[in-house]
Amino acid sequence: MTKEFDNTVYDNERLVTKFDKMQAVNEQDLVYRLKKRAEIRRQISSRKSVQEGKSDRIADLLEEAALEITVLRNQITDMWEDAAGEDL
């Protein structure tokens, strides 16, 4: 059984903060995965772009897509909040 007190989740006598649970969910998120993949590409020392100190175009596109998704999610959230505040 899970009980919640003061932003802390107690699950089967094990202490897990909400942040830890959110992080586990976050790692499955598309934006997180896109950014992580871009980061990994930029760290592979055998890649030509890394060896030459040039920008990795695919990594750049991955980060651009992640940013666009984040912007669109924020717009959707704002629209929902605005609609919830209106008298329907």
Q: How far is C-alpha 18 from the geometric centre of its chain's CA atoms?
A: 16
- The Cα-based distances of 20 to 17, 37, 68 in angstroms read 5, 21, 26
Angle among Cα 69, 71, 76 to the nearest 5 degrees reads 90
Share above pLDDT 70 across residues of the chain, in percent, rounded to a whole number: 68
Task: Look at strands 14-17 and 8-11 and give their pairing.
Answer: antiparallel
Beta-ladder partners of 10? 3, 15
Query: Is the pTM higher than 0.85?
Result: no
pLDDT tens digits for range 4-42 = 445 554 454 454 555 556 555 677 889 999 999 999 999
Does residue 82 register a pLDDT over 60?
A: yes
